[in-house]
Amino acid sequence: MERTILHCDCNGFYASVECVHNPRLKEVPMAVCGNPENRRGIILAKNELAKRRGVLTAETVWQAKKKCPDLVLIPPHREEYLRYSRRVNAIYAQFTDQVEPFGIDESWLDITGSLGLFGSGKEIADQLRRRVREELGLTISVGVSYNKIYAKLGSDYRKPDATTVIDSANYREIVFPLPVTDLLFVGQSAAALLLGMRIRTIGDLAAADRSLLVARMGKIGGMLHDYAAGLDDSHVRRTSEVREIKSVGNGLTFSRNLEGWEDIRLGLTILADEVATRLRRQGLLSRTVQLTIKDPALKTITRQRPLPRPTNLARELVDACLSMMQACWNEHSPVRMLTITAQQLTEEEGGEQLSFFEPEAAIQHKKRARLEQTVDAIRDKFGRGAIQPGSVIGNDIGVDVGGMEDMEQGDEDKGGLSPF
């Protein structure tokens, strides 16, 4: 039996939530940005009026103001966005128990078992759009298809407040002409490799020789080919399948040994950036960080320490790990592998109480938080490869991608993360 999968995407989510709380913002061009006082701050989201004036997500405030001098700038309120995200998903859960969030403002739904109760895929999508609009004041775009990848392409196809059906009869007409960069998980590096093979559209990718793609790109090449051809069969997880995350970690085996604190900081920065990004996407903070070090002989040392405050910021994870390492490791001893694991996780909602006695530390923490949230927004818009820590660009530590261990630990087991 062919599945019916929905992908629901909240339109201009941050800006839309702000407009619900202050309806007057609907009448003016408005954008949410990390730091409204900083001309070099980045636009995180914008409403439709700002979009019509040419304001773009991830551009700087001064660029946006140049296009739209009367642009109203609002700081982000992440706790409210998390609250609305839960309310949206609660509506979805009334139609199926297979609701899988993908970030704060997107979710997949498998409604195959609900068709007899609520109507066709398109009818259910339209019901969801109406209920979210009437009950929460937000709009969503919904893609309807027989797999998760095409459903996501459908939700991106028409915005705002639209339903797009991509089925076995029309997918060649809708999907194949789209640029290959529209496909999930095709970032800048993959796009460059595909362009070198004269693959520009999703249709080009679907028609390409799968074995050649695997030879050139590894497993990711075969996966992207299957996504393009509509062969994705990954399931939408049931709510009961979502485990409580006990830890989030990332490990790297380097193709050359790290030697000296500069090398070590570089390795830690790469790891912490990934761990912190995942924490923020899950709305989590880490109270404790663990560091595992292996030398070329595979001798292993593990250290952990509580953090000064719960955090999901890469810089603070790097500082804690480097401090631990300097206390237990000889700078001139080679390092073959490092792993950072964030532990004792707590939800981000509700804000945190910063120390009255450390105003400078509190100010620095807020600045770093704004910066890293801005980086998240840019990556959400343009792909993970769009922006990286400056210190890792052009590095020569030879990161072995095959040696990367991405870990989210539940109650009992630990395993590699998959896209789904």
Q: CA distances (Å), 263 to each of 21, 337, 339, 395, 401, in order?
A: 47, 12, 15, 9, 18
Farthest-apart Cα atoms in the chain, separation: 67
Helix axes 219-228, 188-196, angle to 10 degrees: 80
Q: How many angstroms separate the first and last alpha carbons of the chain?
A: 21
Active site members: 106
Amino acid type, 379: R
| Alpha carbons 72 and 74: distance in angstroms, whole number | 7
According to DSSP, residue 161 is labeled: S
For residue 160, whether the previous peptide bond is cis, meaning omega lies within 30 degrees of 0, is yes
